[in-house]
Amino acid sequence: MCSTFISRRRASALLISTIVLFVAACSGSTPTPVPATAIPIPTVSPTAPPPSPTPILPTATAEATLPPRTTEPGPTATPAPLSPLAETAFGYLKFLVEELGPRESATEQELAAAEYLASQLEGLGYSVELQPFTITNLSPELSSLTIDGLEPQSLAVIPLISSPEGEASGGLVAIGLAREGDFPLEGLTGKVALIQRGLIPFQEKVDRAAAAGAIAAVIYNNIPDNFQGVMPRSAAIPALAISQGDGERIEALLESGAVTASVSVKATVETSHNVVATKPGSGSATGNKSVVLGGHYDTVPNVAGANDNSSGTAVVLALAQELAQDTLPFTVRFIAFGSEELGLLGSQHYVESLSDEEQQGIIAMFNFDALGSGRQAGVLGDVELINLALEQADKVGISVRAGGGLQGGGSDHINFSRVGIPVLMFYAPDFSRIHTSSDRLEFVRPGLLGDAAELALALIKSPDLLIALD
């Protein structure tokens, strides 16, 4: 875990703790998004999320067994009743997971989700914009790994975020976890490195292989299925991810003799979208001041993303529904960011689309990401906002941890903090299932969604918010 202090426009400390497994979140050297031609909001009739079901509590977690949210201890205890906000958020989450499913960045599935979100926000009475932008997207479909002597020769692959495009072919050498003692004495010049996932960050594994002379890297999973690996900066050689089963089959083939591998990483230019809903503030006393409530709605490939990040998207929708009839002294923008999983691209595009005056007018950005699994709600960000969040949590009776998170990566609030905008991220500390097929509905704790929504609502309505950030 790590925390970093960064200066901002009011010269106060900014406490940023970053979350490793938010794939996009790894601020890699992904090309800057470029605005695309604006498109109209679809005229889809708003579809209300289905009624909230009985809350589903996790049956297991990598954090150890989580205590259920109950009124009294014991295996027969009854779960504590959910707040109305928790029920609303969980209803949205269930719809996102079960009806919309995986929403891979810059795909038709992501666009369908954007249209659904736009219709919901329009139905609540907000002015809504679909904000398109183009990205260069590494393509699993166009990329490939071919292994001579293996059936089938071509395997399913996922390029690591921040891998360069390119092709390479050479002898394959297994180097275990890529620890210093795992490399052959003669180096890897002209070779393709086969690496096992685990222990060492992806960036370090690939950089070590490149430094030893490798021309490409293939990392195989340490649990079933494939995965979306992330490097925070561009690597020197093409890098692919494959499944545990394929990696073990290749290892077995290597025991029989020399193996040749051909690696290809290719990209396409695609369009992604942010969904931006605006609630104007009342009067002119606060000038052009605004607050952004945001979270990304895209997922990694083939994962419905119950926690990452249907949970955050659902909370933003629940807050939009709760605040629809309220009068606030500042403008509120509810934003669902696209292509976060490719490197925070949606929030990057949104922030860069603002004028200096518009950036200066944002008094706070609340980011909601992977907040549905863990022991309690968590917040990280600017010291002033953290302190205010803890005060409000105490007033409304919510258990909240401050700081925390895991090393590496980040989330959409990072792009706001870079231009001096105060930020607060809402999360929960169990990231063990994100970016895996286990990121499912049954591992989401509805009460955590309610805690994040209740706390954010208390902050939005608190007169101390403007005072703390003045």
Query: What does the domain layout of the chain look like in residue ranges?
Result: 4-63+74-135+270-468, 149-258
Whether residue 272 is predicted with pLDDT greater than 50 in this model: the reply is yes
Whether residue 23 is predicted with pLDDT greater than 80 in this model: the reply is no
User: 329-339, pLDDT tens digit by residue?
Assistant: 999 999 999 99
Task: Supply the pLDDT for residue 155.
Answer: 94
Q: Which two tokens stand for residue 378?
A: 């968590």
> Which residue in 87, 340, 341, 384 is the catalytic one?
340
Whether residue 3 is predicted with pLDDT greater than 60 in this model: the reply is no
Instruction: Please indicate whether residue 405 or residue 142 has the higher confidence score (pLDDT).
Output: 142
Task: Supply the pLDDT for residue 200.
Answer: 95
**Alpha helix segments (H runs only) across 84-237:** 84-95, 108-123, 202-211
Mean pLDDT of the chain: 84
Q: Which two tokens stand for residue 288?
A: 């052009």
Peptide bond into 309 cis (omega under 30): yes
Q: Which two tokens stand for residue 334?
A: 């509810």
Length reported for the chain: 470
Across the chain, which distance is largest between two alpha carbons, in Å? 76
d(CA 210, CA 190): 10
CA atoms within 13 A on the CB side of 82: 22
* CATH architecture of the domain formed by 4-63+74-135+270-468: 3-Layer(aba) Sandwich (3.40)
Task: Supply the pLDDT for residue 78.
Answer: 53
Measured CA distances, 26 to 22, 139, 199, 450 (Å): 7, 18, 18, 27
Whether residue 134 is predicted with pLDDT greater than 70 in this model: the reply is yes
Helix, strand, or coil here: 162?
coil
- Strands annotated E in 286-392: 290-296, 331-337, 362-368, 377-382
Q: Which two tokens stand for residue 403?
A: 């700081």
Neighbours of 86 (CB within 10 A): 26
How sure is the predictor about 301, in pLDDT bands with cuts at 50, 70 and 90? confident
DSSP 75: T
Catalytic status, residue 110: no
Q: Which two tokens stand for residue 273?
A: 């979208």
Q: Which of the residue ranges 73-77, 152-156, 374-378, 421-425 would you say has the lowest mean pLDDT?
A: 73-77
Helix, strand, or coil here: 422?
coil
Buried b / exposed e across 317-354, counting CB within 10 Å, b at 16+?
bbbbbbbeeeebebbbbbbbbbbbbbbbbbbbbbbeee
Average pLDDT over residues 178-201: 96
CATH, domain range 149-258: 3.50.30.30
CB-based contact 329:461 (threshold 8 Å): no
Beta-bridge partners for 424: 366, 381
User: 372-385, pLDDT tens digit by residue?
Assistant: 999 999 999 999 99
Q: Which of the residue ranges 30-39, 102-111, 295-304, 326-335 would you say has the lowest mean pLDDT?
A: 30-39
Task: Supply the pLDDT for residue 151.
Answer: 87
Q: Which of the residue ranges 52-61, 218-227, 289-298, 361-370 would you say has the lowest mean pLDDT?
A: 52-61
Orientation of helix 84-95 relative to helix 446-461, angle to 10°? 120
Task: Supply the pLDDT for residue 79.
Answer: 63
How sure is the predictor about 288, in pLDDT bands with cuts at 50, 70 and 90? confident
d(CA 64, CA 80): 21
CB-based contact 5:13 (threshold 8 Å): yes
How sure is the predictor about 447, in pLDDT bands with cuts at 50, 70 and 90? very high
Helix, strand, or coil here: 62?
coil
Non-local (6+) Cβ contacts of 35 within 8 A are 132, 133, 134, 349, 353
Task: Supply the pLDDT for residue 47.
Answer: 42
Orientation of helix 312-323 relative to helix 108-123, angle to 10°? 20
Q: Is 68 exposed, middle or buried (0-12, 13-18, 19+ CB in 10 A)?
A: middle
Task: Supply the pLDDT for residue 403.
Answer: 79
Measured CA distances, 118 to 48, 298, 329, 384 (Å): 12, 14, 24, 32
**Alpha helix segments (H runs only) across 15-152:** 84-95, 108-123
Task: Supply the pLDDT for residue 404.
Answer: 59
Whether residue 45 is predicted with pLDDT greater than 70 in this model: the reply is no
Q: Which two tokens stand for residue 57?
A: 């509590």
Whether residue 1 is predicted with pLDDT greater than 80 in this model: the reply is no
d(CA 30, CA 40): 27
Average pLDDT over residues 140-157: 93
Q: Which of the residue ranges 66-80, 265-279, 291-305, 398-412 would you say has the lowest mean pLDDT?
A: 66-80
Long-range contacts of 69-74 (CB under 8 A, 24+ apart): 69/445, 69/447
Average pLDDT over residues 42-63: 34
Task: Supply the pLDDT for residue 438.
Answer: 93
Average pLDDT over residues 384-407: 86
d(CA 191, CA 212): 9
Percent with pLDDT over 90 in the chain: 73
Instruction: Please indicate whether residue 118 or residue 153 has the higher confidence score (pLDDT).
Output: 118
**Angle at 429 (CA atoms; ends 424, 431), nearest 5 degrees:** 110
